[in-house]
């Protein structure tokens, strides 16, 4: 299994910016479900830490779903992923792991829980 240069946090931000909602399913094995209600697109992957590099087949699956459901073509999705990577590197000279950053999500728990 090969890892990409994209982190799961970057992929998450791009998918959510495209209108996907994210739910953590706590069954065994746990999973993250991304749902795009307008198009019906559904993406599932393990809940890896935000700083881990994305496995190539997870990125391919996300790109295929986004393109196949007409949300964004594959080339534009690639551009969004690259922009997300540049934004992270362009922050101040200090690079904190995403898990150390405060956010509204971390105040209520890092991942919304699905009732499944």
Residue 88 has a pLDDT of 62
pLDDT, residue 20, reads: 98
pLDDT single digits (tens) 27-40: 999 999 999 999 99
Tally of structural domains, the chain: 1
Q: What angle do CA 55, 56, 62 make, to 5 degrees?
A: 95
Domain extent, residue 43, equals 3-85
Quick one: tokens of 11? 């992929």
Q: Is residue 102 in a domain? A: no
pLDDT tens, residue by residue, 53-101: 999 999 999 999 999 999 999 999 999 999 988 776 555 344 444 443 3
Contact 98, 53 (CB under 8 A): no
pTM for the whole thing? Answer: 0.74
pLDDT of the residue at 85? 81
Q: Among 43, 72, 59, which Cα is nearest to 7's?
A: 59
Phi and psi at residue 73, to the nearest 5°: -70, 160
User: Does residue 55 belong to any structural domain of this protein?
Assistant: yes
Q: Is residue 116 part of a domain?
A: no
């Amino acid at each position: 299994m090969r890892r990409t240069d994209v982190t799961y946090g970057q992929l998450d931000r791009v998918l959510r910016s495209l209108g996907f909602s994210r739910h953590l399913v706590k069954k065994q094995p746990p999973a993250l479900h991304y749902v795009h209600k307008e198009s019906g697109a559904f993406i599932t992957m393990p809940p890896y830490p935000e700083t881990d590099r994305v496995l190539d087949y997870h990125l391919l699956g996300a790109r295929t779903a986004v393109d196949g459901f007409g949300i964004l073509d594959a080339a534009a999705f690639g551009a969004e992923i690259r922009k997300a990577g540049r934004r992270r590197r362009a922050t101040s000279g200090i690079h904190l792991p995403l898990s150390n950053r405060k956010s509204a999500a971390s105040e209520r728990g890092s991942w919304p829980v699905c009732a499944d």
